[in-house]
Chains A and B, each alone.
Chain A
């Protein structure tokens, strides 16, 4: 489960960098034709290399690389996993010039608000230039992990052909490819261990991609295709599972029925993570399989998801595994409190819980009573409209905070909230690092007092001292932002919608939150003054998104002019004379290689 997981993003250094590494010299050769390196330097280099190769953390590596040129060089030689938080922050060529021995790449593309249709399609984030550059530079590449990238079938084909040792492909929130691309990967990547398609849009090319895996024993450890909206060849899947002895994680799509899951489980009791597919029975039969027995045999299952078309009468079949579960995702299942409570009652070890609000406050209270180890909670709306019923409220979330003191991460959609509840939550859960609250009605105040939600969010930023990610909602004045600026010293990601009164709000944040990396704002009355007030920060941020605010073209141009390493994109502005000044969407980010060359027509780069 990876919907917007937090990530550790190091500061990028736009400060002067040493020139790209000089051509490789033989490491063991003391004298070399063109270098001025002396003997001690070579020894030092070797020693450094042997030491630095143990350094895993990105932040540590970035720090090490800044010590001196030699450290820069050796670090670059020994970095095997590269994380790029914004694919447009640098060109593929720069990557391959600096890092010579990359085996694993994590690459992120579109900004998150693109998920909600706030950006036209075809904006960019194409994987193509990356894969073609890496095909030549890193033939030993083993792992590619992409988020919000546009990946075509041809890209996947090139990947499959170019990297004979390829092991892991993870595509999160990606699009642009179909089952034919997946088929090529399945077929050609003979050493594949991980094929995880998560929340991606995969077109149905009517290809039996499951049959494309090689006939002999596979190295598969994880196969996730729950987002693939296409039927699969179940017989082929059964065969694949049977010849994948290392398989531990299997996430099926909704085209796999309960009977079929049953058969798979009987053949693969060693699974640790299961996405159950539809969880509905397609045929009525006299002899119903003993589903509970199949689950009982799965002694290792700790993570359960799926339930895409749940038939609730079969839910109790999972009871035998509940006691072992650390992660449970019910977020596709419309489960009532009565169905839910008997299940959750057994889940004492649960740490991660995703569900629909159909479980109501009552269900959340049951979670609070049982799941003392809970770290992460996500409650999604069954009916995601502003004026829908709202079966959960402040009561449910407050109950969770009282029962689950180790809570670290919250995503909560509701229709009603109170400041008092937020204050209580902030006091109950000091470990909170991620707090994302979506009160679905825009500008909705505290439903008991009628006041703005300033004090509640203020308490969150003040009391949750480890908070790194915050999303706010409801009726908020500038005061809320004053609190954020004053107390939100560790905040890295901030998401704002329909909030604030004036430029001061944004100024508080830009001036007060030194760690701010990712700022996404929509429909809030922030204008030029606010934008200018952040200029000292933008080189130290990954991106700023502002849509439907009050920015003018003139100001954006000024910013672009003043900050040459900042790419300032204006998206979708009308170009008729009347309002040439108005900026519909601003998306700006630092870049080492200047503006991109693949911007579509509706993007203007200032």
Chain B
């Protein structure tokens, strides 16, 4: 193998395999997309077609090193390559001014698929989501508690379960908030979230930005349209649901 120094890389343009594979190369996104950022497709997504070339190559050449070369050769065809140049995503999309601010804020979404990477402007990567296992996490904020929590809706089957989870997530936090006002108070369970009988009521914001009471629609319908959850004081239901869809409250001064 040592003496074998065919300059296969030089033959890039001339190689028949090169042009073959280019036609067959799978891509997500429009042709001619540039840069490594856009091709978040993992290498292996190219495999099904490329492997046929690989086996072709194996038939033609007997020495493994040549096969090696062909393997690597197909990876070095012109066209974007995942993770090359090796620059981390937060270093890309650098701008000169404040225009990037807008782009970033609008991509901030409330429904978080578990472990979803938040690369800005990397559309093709979001297409990978169906491949991932994982939950459907929504944010939950509660009146009077500065710290929000997240819950995995895919791990729930019913509103009752969800209500139970909310209680579990916030009971301690709520008690901590109340410490100052009435000491010695034990952690009270948070009940009546769904029927209007409790001190608090569970509401949600759907994908159209509307605020609704939780519990009115069938569970699966709810799961498919919910964006985030809010636990509000029952006494403030009418005002909470009527006024403001808010734009996310930003804390800028």
Q: Which residues of the other chain, B, contact A578 by a CB distance below 8 angstroms? A: 51-52, 55
Q: In chain B between 86 and 110, which residues have their CB closer than 8 angstroms to a CB of chain A?
A: 86-92, 94-98, 100-101, 104, 108
B69 touches A525 (CB 8 A): yes
B40 within 8 A of A: yes
B219 within 8 A of A: no
Q: Which residues of the other chain, A, contact B71 by a CB distance below 8 angstroms? A: 525, 548-550
A207 touches B148 (CB 8 A): yes
- Complex CA distance for A574 and B85, rounded to whole angstroms: 25
A184 within 8 A of B: yes
B86 touches A116 (CB 8 A): yes
A442 within 8 A of B: yes
B86 touches A438 (CB 8 A): yes
A199 touches B85 (CB 8 A): no
Given A442-B84, A502-B1, the answer on whether A121 and B146 have CB atoms closer than 8 Å is no
- CB-defined interface of A484-515 with B at 8 Å, one 1/0 digit per residue? 00000000000001100111100000000000
Q: Which residues of the other chain, B, contact A184 by a CB distance below 8 angstroms? A: 147
Residue of B nearest to A122 (CB): B115
Stretch of A88-96, A382-390, A591-599 with 4 or more beta carbons under 8 angstroms from chain B: A382-390
B94 touches A550 (CB 8 A): no
A380 touches B134 (CB 8 A): no
A332 touches B68 (CB 8 A): no
B85 touches A548 (CB 8 A): no
- CB-defined interface of A309-334 with B at 8 Å, one 1/0 digit per residue? 11100000000000000000001101
A523 within 8 A of B: yes
Output the least CB separation between B226 and chain A (Å).
Answer: 16
Among A121, A153, A309, A584, point to the contact of B95 (Cβ < 8 A). A309
- Complex CA distance for A327 and B70, rounded to whole angstroms: 46
A527 touches B88 (CB 8 A): no
- CB-defined interface of A269-313 with B at 8 Å, one 1/0 digit per residue? 000000000101010000000000000000000000000011100
B94 touches A382 (CB 8 A): yes
Residue of A nearest to B10 (CB): A443
Stretch of B16-24, B232-240, B244-252 with 4 or more beta carbons under 8 angstroms from chain A: B244-252
- Complex CA distance for A360 and B2, rounded to whole angstroms: 40
Chain A CB within 10 Å, residue with most, of B9, B248, B253 = B253
Q: How many of A's residues come within 8 Å of B, CB to CB?
A: 90
Output the least CB separation between A203 and chain B (Å).
Answer: 6
- CB-defined interface of A198-238 with B at 8 Å, one 1/0 digit per residue? 01010111111001100000000000000101111111000
Given A381-B87, A525-B69, A548-B75, the answer on whether A332 and B94 have CB atoms closer than 8 Å is yes
- Complex CA distance for A560 and B251, rounded to whole angstroms: 54
B97 touches A121 (CB 8 A): no
Residue of B nearest to A212 (CB): B146
A365 within 8 A of B: no
- Complex CA distance for A574 and B2, rounded to whole angstroms: 31
A280 touches B44 (CB 8 A): no
Among B65, B104, B132, B253, point to the contact of A235 (Cβ < 8 A). B253
Given A477-B5, A525-B65, the answer on whether A572 and B44 have CB atoms closer than 8 Å is yes
A449 within 8 A of B: no
Q: Which residues of the other chain, A, contact B248 by a CB distance below 8 angstroms? A: 206
Q: Which residues of the other chain, A, contact B85 by a CB distance below 8 angstroms? A: 381, 384-386, 413, 438, 440
- CB-defined interface of A245-284 with B at 8 Å, one 1/0 digit per residue? 0000000001100001000000000000000001010100
Residue of A nearest to B79 (CB): A386
Q: In chain B between 34 and 60, which residues have their CB closer than 8 angstroms to a CB of chain A?
A: 34-37, 40, 42-44, 47-48, 51-52, 54-55
A212 touches B35 (CB 8 A): no
A524 touches B91 (CB 8 A): no
A14 within 8 A of B: no
B147 touches A443 (CB 8 A): no
B27 within 8 A of A: no
B51 touches A443 (CB 8 A): no
A115 within 8 A of B: yes
Chain A CB within 10 Å, residue with most, of B36, B84, B92, B248 = B84
Among A153, A255, A478, A529, point to the contact of B150 (Cβ < 8 A). A153
Q: In chain A between 521 and 577, which residues have their CB closer than 8 angstroms to a CB of chain B?
A: 522-529, 547-550, 572-574, 576
Q: In chain A between 76 and 114, which residues have their CB closer than 8 angstroms to a CB of chain B?
A: 113
Q: In chain B between 184 and 228, which residues have their CB closer than 8 angstroms to a CB of chain A?
A: none
B88 touches A205 (CB 8 A): no
Output the least CB separation between A285 and chain B (Å).
Answer: 15
B139 within 8 A of A: yes
Given A278-B98, A382-B94, the answer on whether A574 and B48 have CB atoms closer than 8 Å is yes
Chain A CB within 10 Å, residue with most, of B42, B68, B104, B250 = B68
B4 within 8 A of A: yes
A120 within 8 A of B: yes
- Complex CA distance for A178 and B149, rounded to whole angstroms: 10
Among A230, A384, A584, point to the contact of B91 (Cβ < 8 A). A384
A503 touches B76 (CB 8 A): no
Among A118, A548, A584, point to the contact of B72 (Cβ < 8 A). A548
Q: Which residues of the other chain, A, contact B95 by a CB distance below 8 angstroms? A: 309, 334
B1 touches A232 (CB 8 A): no
Residue of A nearest to B41 (CB): A117
Q: Would you give 14 A-B contacts (Cβ < 8 Å), ordered by A?
A: A113-B83, A204-B108, A212-B146, A229-B118, A384-B35, A384-B37, A498-B72, A503-B1, A525-B65, A525-B71, A550-B72, A572-B42, A572-B43, A578-B52
Which B residues are closer than 8 A to A by beta carbons?
1-2, 4-5, 9, 34-37, 40, 42-44, 47-48, 51-52, 54-55, 64-65, 67-69, 71-72, 75-76, 81-92, 94-98, 100-101, 104, 108, 112, 114-118, 125, 132-134, 139, 141, 146-150, 248-253
Which A residues are closer than 8 A to B by beta carbons?
113, 115-118, 120-122, 150, 153, 175-176, 178, 180, 183-184, 187, 199, 201, 203-208, 211-212, 227, 229-235, 254-255, 260, 278, 280, 282, 309-311, 331-332, 334, 356, 380-382, 384-386, 413, 438, 440, 442-443, 475, 477-478, 497-498, 501-504, 522-529, 547-550, 572-574, 576, 578-579, 582, 584, 600-601
Apart from A121-B116, A235-B253, A380-B87, 9 more pairs, CB < 8 Å: A116-B84, A117-B36, A180-B149, A205-B150, A478-B2, A501-B5, A525-B69, A527-B68, A529-B64
